[in-house]
A and B are shown apart, each in its own frame.
Chain A
Amino acid sequence: MEKLIEILEEIQPDAEYDTCETLIDDGILDSFAILSIVSELQDEFGITITPADIIPDNFNSAKALWAMVERLQEE
């Protein structure tokens, strides 16, 4: 989780990742940022993210992102 926040802050510094739950809905993360995050997560955690995973529910908060990472690690 800490590593994840680190990645997020590097890519898009202007957001409160601990509390924000509307990263997509409020347009804080645009598609460039999303793909940058995806790219980093894949490298960092050795997971494969598919287009099917790119839905607002998975990207709206750091918590949701982390849940997705954990789920994909298990698969």
Chain B
Amino acid sequence: MSLISMEFLLFVILAVAGYYWIPQKYQWIWLLAFSYIYYTSGGIRVTCFLVFTTLTSWGAGVWMEKISETIKDKRNAKRTKRQILTAALVLNFGVLGVLKYTNFAIDTANSLFGAEFDRLQLLLPLGISFYTFQSMGYILDVYWGRVKAEHHLFRFALFVSFFPQILQGPIGRYHSLSQQLYASHTFSWNPIQQGFLRILWGYFKKMVIADNAVIFVDAIFEHPDLYNGLGIVGVLAYSIQLYCDFSGGMDVVIGIAELFGIHLDENFKRPYFAVSITDFWHRWHITLGTWMKDYVFYPVSLSGWMKSFSKFAKKTCGKQTGRTLPICLANLIVFLVVGVWHGAAWKFIIYGLYNGLIIAFSGLMAPSYRKWKTALHITDNSTAFHLFQMFRTFLLVNISWFFDRAEDVKTAFLMMRNTLTHFNLGQILEPGIEIGEASGTTYTLVAIGVILAGCLLLFVVSVLEEQGKNLAEIFVRQHWLVKGAVYLLLILLLPALGQPSGEAGGFIYAQF
């Protein structure tokens, strides 16, 4: 059930209406039922994987807690808990790994050793990486004693499967999400109004901005020879498309959850205003970043062998560098994982390492930067320096998008080179960039106009939000005529300026 399909719309209306109509103590059961209806509509077989993850993580949580309570010897208890944890992690990440990366391994083996293994036909349950990450985070939290285990299997099942977020995140945390899911929610107009606005805004970003931008992205990235002068247009369009597609989807998801009175974690905070790559990852796909930080970065950094490496590094490279070096290594590992998470291909590994290396480098250089800034009398507060940092980060991010979107690593490099040597903006008006039912100059210009106008609106909204204004709350306080007009306008803009959303009407991140 795609987020933009008619059935999804009716499904949500039915779910929300019933949610406030039934007695409040059954609300969470209602959500669970709808979550499972939603997921099984994608197939019964894939649901087995969801049930498997639910059962193993629920069981592991309960079991680990029981061990803490029953085994008195602390060391003994810890060892047993560790075994349970390892088993649950291996099982679940194992399933994810096998389903997602077997064919990549086969392809790599075939090209490296000239072997001829056939690719396998594997099921890839929708949203598997999102719900796996969410559940594994929960198990680790229980293991570390940060949360109490959930004993009620069906309540836990709702935490894993809550339907607005299961397909593309945001990845929820047990301590903040679970209580909201199980609590009773009384009907109130404010969350409904805000949620509805958020949903429309999300559709606007997806249908009007991203789906217009994608025409240029596809044309340019799929014909790098034909449009060799447009690499920069392609990558800028891609940065618009990717952000609007992904964050627009998140707006829809978060808005729907809001209709139920449930606040999901934000996944985006104006990423293109970031002043460094580190800052970018604090603003882009935030829940993945914090997940990686808490469950990969810290554990790896604090592991025994990292400690030994730290001692060794401090001895050989001096205190400061020696201290930072292991952190940089852990950071590289995290971004390797992030890269692989994005897809089973070498270009994604490079994409991840590129980000990791920049962050590691700036981590190592931080003390030097501080000295230089003092020497050059640059203060962090100066607007010019701030803008320079934003521009630099945006540039670095766009370089990484070449790897993300181009067919393969080689094409990415080729396109970057052509961007510098063959720049030719005129190609954009050449026929061939097909838009909707017609091709040629007129529609290309219309689409460019729509993208630019959409981005301008997005920019204004972003600046206001960056200044700390809560636009949804301001909106709710307006006169009903104003609110009605905004709703109507946004609704009509979706068909008026939007493009059909691909054959399947999918969001990019729904495939993960």
Contacts and interface: CB of A to CB of B under 8 A. Distances in A.
Interface of A: 13, 27, 30-32, 35-36, 38-40, 42-43, 49-52, 54-55
B298 A51 contact: yes
Nearest to B326: A39
Nearest to B366: A32
A25 B323 CA distance: 24
Interface residues of B, number: 25
Name the residue among B282, B298, B366 with the largest chain A CB count within 10 angstroms: B298
Decide if the interface of chain B is mainly helix, strand, loop or mixed: helix
Contact of A30 (B140, B278, B323, B370): B278
Contacts of A32: 278, 324, 327, 331, 363, 366
A52 B327 contact: no
A40 B278 CA distance: 22
B228 interface: no
Given A31-B293, A32-B363, A39-B310, A54 B298 contact: yes
A40 to B, nearest CB: 7
B99 to A, nearest CB: 27
Interface string B286-312: 000000011001110110000100100
29 contacts: A13-B370, A27-B282, A30-B278, A31-B293, A31-B298, A32-B324, A32-B331, A35-B302, A35-B327, A35-B330, A36-B324, A36-B327, A38-B302, A39-B310, A39-B323, A39-B326, A39-B327, A49-B302, A50-B144, A50-B302, A51-B140, A51-B144, A51-B294, A51-B298, A51-B302, A52-B145, A52-B146, A54-B298, A55-B146
A52 B144 contact: yes
Contacts of B310: 39
Contacts of A55: 146
Interface in B382-408: none
Contacts of A31: 293, 297-298
Given A32-B363, A51-B299, 15 more contacts: A13-B370, A30-B278, A31-B293, A31-B297, A32-B327, A35-B301, A35-B327, A36-B327, A39-B327, A42-B307, A49-B302, A50-B144, A50-B302, A51-B298, A51-B302
Contacts of A51: 140, 144, 294, 298-299, 302
B291 to A, nearest CB: 13
Decide if the interface of chain A is mainly helix, strand, loop or mixed: helix
Nearest to A14: B380
Contact of B323 (A13, A27, A36, A50): A36
Contacts, number: 45
A51 B145 CA distance: 11
A35 B298 CA distance: 8
Contacts of A35: 298, 301-302, 327, 330
Contacts of B140: 51
Contacts of A13: 370
Contacts of B146: 52, 55
Interface in B89-126: none
A50 B307 CA distance: 12
A30 B274 CA distance: 15
Contacts of B324: 32, 36
Nearest to A30: B278
Contacts of A39: 310, 323, 326-327
A47 to B, nearest CB: 12
A24 to B, nearest CB: 12
B271 to A, nearest CB: 15
A38 B145 CA distance: 20
B293 A40 contact: no
A8 B370 CA distance: 16
Contacts of A54: 294, 298, 302
A27 B286 CA distance: 14
B287 to A, nearest CB: 15
Contacts of B293: 31
Nearest to A52: B144
A55 B173 CA distance: 14
